């Protein structure tokens, strides 16, 4: 298609309307200014908050641009970790809460080796449940970058509700 292009950094297919890559945060326009420092050129767009930042305010972490506020996120491809626990029942409850709220969580479980990925059946047909086995013993919930802030709000409001400890 004539209106499609590809990110030179991560090879995601994009359209001519895209101003940055939603997967890696690469900018396509050289005239973008930093959100915090308007006199400085932006080096990328945070994939979590979608604001452009200079190198002082953000940077590439594992080939993904994150602002200083969101650099703590563990990211994998186009997903970020929003919760982790060694208790499966806690993770399942949190995952169900996100699904009920229309989000698309994926589960990753650290049991053995960082290089083994197992796919399992998911009883929710709208979500593919991918379990990656990578050593920590924790089960992690990841959501697409565009859902991270909403997922955090949902999970934080659940923690603040009396009787949901």
Residues in CB range of 44: below 8 A, 6 or more apart:
20, 25, 26, 27, 52, 53, 58, 59, 60, 65
For residues 117 and 132, membership in a common domain is answered with: yes
Whole-angstrom distance, CA of residue 164 vs CA of residue 129: 25
Residue 161 has a pLDDT of 55
Task: For the chain, give the mean pLDDT.
Answer: 82
Same domain, 82 and 140: yes
Q: Dihedral of CA 138/79/26/146: which sign?
A: negative
Is residue 162 very low, low, confident or very high in pLDDT (cuts 50, 70, 90)? low
Q: What's the rounded Cα separation, in Å, for the pair 40 and 60?
A: 17
Domain identity same for 82 and 150: yes
Please check whether residues 11 and 63 belong to one and the same domain: yes
CATH code, domain with 143 = 3.30.70
pLDDT greater at residue 26 or residue 162: 26
Cα separation, 116 vs 45, in Å, equals 31
Average pLDDT on 3-9 reads 81
**Residue 165, in any domain of the structure:** no
| pLDDT score of 121 more than 60 | no
Say which residue, 110 or 157, is predicted with more confidence.
157
Task: Name which of 18-22, 28-32, 161-165 the model is least confident about.
Answer: 161-165
54 and 102 share one domain: no
- This prediction has a pTM of 0.76
Strand-pairing partners, residue 64, are: 61
Domain of 86 in residue numbering reads as: 75-160
Under 8 Å between Cβ of 145 and 123: no
Q: 22 is written with which tokens? A: 């939603």
Residue 89 and residue 122 share a domain: yes
Cα–Cα separations (whole angstroms), residue 32 to 20, 61, 140: 10, 20, 35
Rounded average pLDDT over 35-46: 96
Structure tokens belonging to residue 28: 């396509």
Q: How far apart are CA 163 and CA 82, in angstroms?
A: 21
Residues with Cβ within 8 Å of 93's Cβ and at least 6 positions away in sequence, in order, are none
Total structural domains within the chain: 2
How sure is the predictor about 77, in pLDDT bands with cuts at 50, 70 and 90?
Answer: confident
Predicted pLDDT at 32: 95
Query: What mean pLDDT comes out for the span 151-157?
Result: 96
Q: What integer is the mean pLDDT of 89-113?
A: 88
Q: Indicate if 113 and 149 belong to the same structural domain.
A: yes
Share of the chain above pLDDT 90, in %: 63
User: For 4-22, what is the mean pLDDT?
Assistant: 88
């Amino acid at each position: 298609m004539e209106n499609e292009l590809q990110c030179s950094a991560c090879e995601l297919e994009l359209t001519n309307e895209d101003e940055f890559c939603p997967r890696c945060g690469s900018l396509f326009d050289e005239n973008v200014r930093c959100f915090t420092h308007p006199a400085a050129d932006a080096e990328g767009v945070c994939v979590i908050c979608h604001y452009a930042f200079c190198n002082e305010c953000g940077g590439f972490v594992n080939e993904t641009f994150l602002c200083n506020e969101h650099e703590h996120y563990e990211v994998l491809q186009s997903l970020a970790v929003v919760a982790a626990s060694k208790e499966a029942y806690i993770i399942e409850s949190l995952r169900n809460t996100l699904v009920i709220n229309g989000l698309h969580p994926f589960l990753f479980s650290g049991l053995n080796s960082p290089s083994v990925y197992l796919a399992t059946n998911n009883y929710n047909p709208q979500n593919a449940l991918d379990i990656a086995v990578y050593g920590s013993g924790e089960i992690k919930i990841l959501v697409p970058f565009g859902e991270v802030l909403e997922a955090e709000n949902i999970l934080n409001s659940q923690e603040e509700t009396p009787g949901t400890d």
